[in-house]
Amino acid sequence: MSLDLSLYLVTDPALCAERGLEATVMAAVRGGVSVVQLRDKHASDEEMIAQAIRLKALLDEYEVPLIINDRIEVALASSADGLHIGQSDGDPVEARRRLGEDALIGLSVQTLEQLKAVDVERIDYLGLGPVYATPTKPDHAAPLGIEGLTQLVRSSPLPTVAIGGISLANAGEVMTSGTDGLAVVSALCSAEDPAAAAQQFLAQYPF
């Protein structure tokens, strides 16, 4: 499956709870979301596998890839399209070996040192951030700001998606960094109308 990073939705179970995870995700996809990452730090593997299988069936109709956050066993069991790992959450070599050459594998990067260590043979894209402070991930690293983000984007050997505190109000500024896309959590999961919110991102800041 091809990778279009332009509008990358990262799910948050609490923020999606009122409408329901699947309804929230599919509304955002109908609005133009190009990638969905299933992230849930508290669900069991079994719960997450069941959720991923349901989502995968829905997303396949739109040819939108489903990426699993951190949990390689969930990615394997659900036949997800890929895996996204943090610096301390998995081994890219092992992930590529187990998931195969067709899987989409992303890696979070916060510093130039981490960027220089990236294995470009095994990683497909990089998640750069946090750009701004964000309550959806309270243990995040120090925010990069636009200057720090731009430095990483310009130095990256791979496609990039910016993440962390991104909203309609600051998306234009984030895009000046040259990043290939925006990863959004609360601005879509908490939106009154996720489809309309996604359309606003894409209409205001065309990629």
Asked if 41 is an active-site residue, the reply is no
119 and 113 in contact (C-beta within 8 Å)? no
**Residue 1 DSSP SS3:** coil
Asked if 39 is an active-site residue, the reply is yes
What are the two backbone dihedrals, phi and then psi, of residue 70, each rounded to the nearest 5 degrees? Answer: 70, -40
Asked if 137 is an active-site residue, the reply is yes
User: Which residue in the list 6, 34, 39, 56 is annotated as catalytic?
Assistant: 39
Give the integer Cα–Cα distance in Å for 53 and 99: 16
- What does each C-alpha distance from 120 to 16, 73, 88, 96 come to in angstroms? 34, 23, 18, 11
Tokens representing 159? 């496609």
User: Which residue in the list 71, 96, 122, 137 is annotated as catalytic?
Assistant: 137
User: Which residue in the list 6, 78, 108, 177 is annotated as catalytic?
Assistant: 108
Residues 6+ apart with CB under 8 A from 90: 70, 72, 83
**What residue type is assigned to position 10 of the chain?**
V
- Give the torsion through C-alpha atoms of 46, 47, 49, 55, to 10 deg: 170
Give the integer Cα–Cα distance in Å for 185 and 8: 9
Q: Which residues are catalytic?
A: 39, 108, 137
